Structure 1
Amino acid sequence: MTFSIVATDGVDVGVAVSSKFVAVGAFVPHAEAAVGAVATQCYANPKLGKVIISMIKQGLAAREAVERALSQDVEKELRQIGAVDIRGNAYGFTGRECPEYAGHVTGHGYVALGNILAGPQVVESMARAFESQRGELVDKLLAALEAGDRAGGDRRGKQSAAIIVLRPGGGYLGLTDVYVDIRVDDHPDPVAELRRIFKIWELTLLQREDPLDVVLKKDVAGEVQEALRRLGFYKREPTGVWDEETERAFRNWAGYENFENKIRNDDKIWGSLYRYLLEISRR
């Protein structure tokens, strides 16, 4: 009993979902980088997600994969499924026995779907938000989920939310395909909490800073030294000169905060990291 959106932009694949159900992220989203993504919901059969992904990987389009998987399910009219393949083919299925309101909207590269919703405006709002939001796939998925939440979402209430976005080599230090993977398993406002955690994830793990959003180390040396001193990483009085000791203290702080992938080997600091350092040093 859930609302979700499944999508691809031809590079990333992902699912965003929310429900009045504990840990919805453990059951609804299924995805494989460079292959596709699936949401299995209503009286969910998570096995279908793996089967559909496997069929897409073998070359089937999203619709054919879903239809073949459901043909083996005697309770398919209780199921709701959205699927996309990496080529942008999208297909939604809402079984006749899914509790009202239940429905889906399909567009190029996405399916917005849900059941036990406040009304059709939930999936319609998600589709509009997805199509109008600029940015990467993760931005479009989050915008769609927030739009569905504002439009009434699950009419029973709120409990959990999740988002997963996969990109080949797009994960931590390029060692995984997990670009974003966040779950809010039990919270009074899970979609808002998902957005809050995403901001931390983005700052810590995503490398998509504006190339113009930088500061020169020499211009902020005194501020950074003072901030690092307050946090216990710089042991001297600020000199206003960015020297080896300042560089070492800054790198130690960045590693402590898990920002090692945001360290630059030049004379600049990312603006996002600089602002965060000043902010936490003043708390």
Structure 2
Amino acid sequence: MKKTFTLLLSFLLGLGALGAQDTFSIVAVDTETGEVGSAGASCVPNAGSLGGVILISGIIPGRGGINGQALVCIPHVNLNNALEQMEAGLSPQEIIEWLQNNDACGAGGPQDRQYGIADFDSLGNARTAAFTGTNTLDWAGHITGPNYSIQGNILLGPQILDSMEARFLREEGSLAKKLMAAMQGANVPGADSRCLDDGVSSFSAFLQVFKPTDPPDSPFLRLNVAEVPPGVEPIDSLQALFDAWMMTSSTRELPPQPELRLFPNPSPGTLTLEVYNLPGRTAPGLLRVFDFQGREVFRTHLKERKTTLEMPGALGDGLYWLSLEDESGRQLARKKWLLLR
């Protein structure tokens, strides 16, 4: 993993500007499921009045995520602009370079910012990049891995980010579980150093994960501890919400789930689909095809459990998601498909 540490970071709460100071966060993608997720916490006072520190996180389902922290404007204009550049196809490093040349927040400048970015390229490979400005306050820095970026400012030291990374890598479960584990890696008093006297890591925390076919404003998982009373640890509160969510979303004793199989994969445009474990004699349902920016590019109704399809010639080479849905719109199965003409 590539590690970069600098000795500054900043965060300010003021009129039209928010110092996302004393902040640590992680943004990551899962190349197996196409999920994009983010989690973080901050010692910013009165964050609840702004909806919580979740305001530093922006995600495009199926494409990638960006965390923008340190000194930020409200509305978070730099984050919004960065997401537009991601939508336009820029890579994480290109987005950071664009932001440095096009900083639109009236408070401070490019060296007062901190960013972490993770996304998918057109073939579904993970890419990451991060930036910590030289005007951010000590201790500040970031760590980037193959599919994640971890960053923080006004921390006790680099051990906070190291612990987050170690917990993220050690957890073998889903992206949601890995993000929660990373947050527990920073669950120490004063992880954000200005919270040390309060005996907590932070005042506000969040975790969210989008599946590739989720609507932009409706992730399948969003937990937000906007603000806690004095002396309450928000990461503990976040863990309690996460545990409750896990209980309600548990698959427990479910029967075999429908499965979508494709071959050949990769293919030049013609592929055969087979649907397995479909209950009864019902027709498979609606097949929707999405590109890796989450845009629907093709749909057709499957009448047989084994079908050969010719995909539209206008589709360019790259990675796509195939989603099989029933008549009510409920997703039954999904599969990645690589088009190579």
Q: Is it true that 1:19 corresponds to 2:42 in the alignment?
A: yes
Q: Is it true that 1:81 corresponds to 2:102 in the alignment?
A: no
Q: Residues 50-129 of structure 1 correspond to what in structure 2 (within 5 A)?
A: 50-73=80-103, 75-86=109-120, 87-129=125-167
**Aligned to 1:149, which of 187, 212, 236?**
187
- 2:61/2:214 contact within 8 Å kept: no
Q: Is it true that 1:47 corresponds to 2:77 in the alignment?
A: yes
Q: In the alignment, which residue of structure 2 is the partner of 1:222? A: none
- 1:9/1:109 contact within 8 Å kept: yes
- 2:27/2:150 contact within 8 Å kept: yes
Residues 82-125 of structure 1, C-alpha deviations (whole Å, 9 max, x = no match): 01112311111000010100000100110110000011101111
- For the residue of structure 2 that corresponds to 1:89, the secondary structure is strand
CA shift for structure 1 position 209: 3.9
Q: CA 1:191–1:57 in structure 2 vs 1: closer, same or farther (change >3 Å)? A: same
State how many pairs are aligned. Answer: 208
Give the unaligned 5+ runs of structure 1: 213-283
CA shift for structure 1 position 55: 1.4
CA shift for structure 1 position 159: 0.7
Q: In the alignment, which residue of structure 1 is the partner of 2:64? A: 36
Q: CA 1:20–1:117 in structure 2 vs 1: closer, same or farther (change >3 Å)? A: same
- For the residue of structure 2 that corresponds to 1:150, the secondary structure is coil
Q: CA 1:178–1:155 in structure 2 vs 1: closer, same or farther (change >3 Å)? A: same
Q: In the alignment, which residue of structure 2 is the partner of 1:183? A: 224
| 2:143 counterpart letter in structure 1 | V
Residues 143-186 of structure 1, C-alpha deviations (whole Å, 9 max, x = no match): 01110223852011121101111113458xxx985121111011
CA shift for structure 1 position 202: 2.5
- 2:40/2:54 contact within 8 Å kept: no
Measure the CA separation in 2 of the matches of 1:109 and 1:209.
29
Measure the CA separation in 2 of the matches of 1:132 and 1:88.
19
CA shift for structure 1 position 208: 4.3
- 2:113/2:133 contact within 8 Å kept: yes
Q: CA 1:110–1:209 in structure 2 vs 1: closer, same or farther (change >3 Å)? A: farther
> Which of the pair is proportionally richer in helix?
1
| 1:64 counterpart letter in structure 2 | E
- 1:125/1:151 contact within 8 Å kept: no
**Aligned to 2:212, which of 168, 176, 179?**
168
CA shift for structure 1 position 200: 1.8
CA shift for structure 1 position 70: 2.3
Measure the CA separation in 1 of the matches of 2:251 and 2:188.
28
Measure the CA separation in 2 of the matches of 1:170 and 1:80.
27
Measure the CA separation in 1 of the matches of 2:143 and 2:218.
28
**Aligned to 1:202, which of 246, 271, 285?**
246
- 2:62/2:213 contact within 8 Å kept: no
CA shift for structure 1 position 54: 1.9
Q: In angstroms, what is the RMSD of aligned CA positions?
A: 2.1
Q: What's the % identity of the aligned pairs?
A: 29
- 2:66/2:118 contact within 8 Å kept: yes
- 2:180/2:239 contact within 8 Å kept: yes
CA shift for structure 1 position 210: 6.5
